Chain A
């Protein structure tokens, strides 16, 4: 408001010229923009640039930083946890996609067919998404407890042997995938459901007149009609799951024997536990490059198809 009135007071006396009007409009506009420009500059744009710079520097925040070339990258790559971190992150992403991508889509197709309890089912499937992730993760930590956790109690009920869940190298990662799917699948389901409801009913009718059975109708109508949203969600989900941090941080601490250490978790450890912020940055830059490939595809896909 004030920014708008200052130029008005200066130029208001005479009839404003064309140039004067343009200047005034721009000053006003940038007055409105300045808050956002400051926030973005300090907390988004500068950190983006600094991420790259810090990866090639050695800084201790007392002496001026020195350029060290690829030293930070060498440090990270020679870390014995480096390989496991990438393998686990990739494996986690693949497993999380198998569960967290297929299940919501199938769920949405089934929900779309139901004529009763729709509001209840939609509410319930989205409920875990609303819980703070820390709550979901700590809740599952309790469920996973080998001695008195819910999961082993349920297995016991069916006379099945209990599992070690988070404590065993063979089940730890899949345990993280289960939590992650449980707390995230609601949003995917509802997004697919919204997409399914936009499919024109004529297509199904036409397919039926052509003699297509239920599964053929799903294969030839439902999936092609939701192809774009399926692709977009796939890319978004890859980018989101590759940044997995909270599950290993709270549940396993990267263990047992590095079986659940993820790239972001390792990055956090470098910065805050090993006191080597630059190495953490170098690792972050590697992840950024990988993820930006997916982000770029995502932007391309969503721009080509929706405008």
Chain B
């Protein structure tokens, strides 16, 4: 805002010559580049003729290079699945598939059993979501609002798991799944092998507790005076006002389970229990290239759709993760 008032004073220090400014004033007024947010580039320089030219050149370069780097591979993937093996091997490559057909996708669906794999993954992600919310929300609530004895120690122990790189404890965690101590259950090839470890997520507890800490005490005390039990307060007061953070935790959990590779690789070795990433990876060497590529497209559709729908939550989760504390 303030830079609008400062701008006229600054014109002396900018490279725009008075002559250039005269000429511009005579032409039809151009819409100035929006300089509402002041950044490293001076808003005044940006709106000189030279500044505009540079700005548009940079913009075009960035848009083109980003599209080439991040969209083109995906385009190549989607169209590659429509090409025959001969066409894929052809030199020079064809930019558009010679004929539009979804046969590659149908073949991939049948050959890799993608229906089963996607169903499995949805089951793992959905169950992990429910269990994580139930377990981590009630834990964070207890630590934030009920404040039991040793609560600080419990919280510190939970947060300490954030310091342990997950890959390093993957072998002993695998042994736990293979034979749960005390109970002696074998959870390999069951959804519990995904669900239970997903709920043991210190970062979720941290995010939720930090949010619950910001809920004013008076709100809960009012409910308590009305005779509500702690469970009732959690359900009817805390959860309804925590929807933003619940959204972030939900998305993080579902996306993590969906994208995870190493853990399901260890604990779901049965081919009819595999998640979609593992299923495709385990069959990748036996498939013709176009079928494999088609299966990659199908496997990425769910996460891309989730991204389209919940972009804002996902980005909020990202910055919550980085600026912790």
Contact = CB atoms under 8 A, between A and B. Distances in A.
Contacts of A4: 229-231
A131 B304 contact: yes
Nearest to B62: A110
Given A44-B200, A47-B169, A139-B77, A296 B163 contact: yes
How many of chain B's residues touch chain A, expressed as a range? 35 or more
B40 to A, nearest CB: 5
Contacts of B143: 29, 33
Contacts of B319: 190-191, 194
Given A115-B34, A127-B70, A302-B324, A51 B318 contact: no
B242 interface: no
B129 interface: no
Contacts of A158: none
B139 A36 contact: yes
A47 B292 contact: no
B131 to A, nearest CB: 8
B10 interface: yes
Contacts of A51: 168-169, 171-172
Interface in A75-128: 109-117, 120-128
Given A124-B67, A135-B300, A182-B70, 20 more contacts: A5-B229, A31-B142, A32-B141, A32-B146, A39-B196, A43-B173, A48-B164, A109-B40, A123-B311, A126-B315, A132-B276, A133-B277, A134-B281, A194-B323, A205-B2, A205-B6, A267-B167, A292-B164, A295-B165, A306-B324
Interface of A: 1, 3-5, 8, 25-26, 28-33, 35-37, 39-40, 42-48, 50-51, 54, 109-117, 120-128, 130-135, 138-139, 141-143, 147-148, 150, 153, 156-157, 182, 187, 190-191, 194-197, 201-202, 204-205, 208, 211, 214, 217-218, 221-222, 229, 232-233, 236, 239, 242-243, 245-246, 250, 264, 267, 271-272, 277, 280-281, 284-285, 287-288, 291-292, 295-296, 299, 302-303, 305-307
Interface of B: 2-3, 6, 10, 13, 33-35, 37-42, 55, 58-59, 62-63, 66-67, 69-71, 73-74, 76-77, 80, 88-93, 134-136, 138-139, 141-143, 146-149, 151, 154, 157-158, 161-176, 180-181, 196-197, 199-200, 202, 205, 229-232, 234-235, 255, 258-259, 261-262, 266, 276-278, 280-281, 284, 289, 292-293, 296, 299-300, 303-304, 306-307, 311, 314-315, 318-319, 322-325
Closest A-B pairs by Cβ, 7 of them: A201-B38, A306-B325, A29-B148, A36-B139, A1-B231, A32-B142, A134-B277
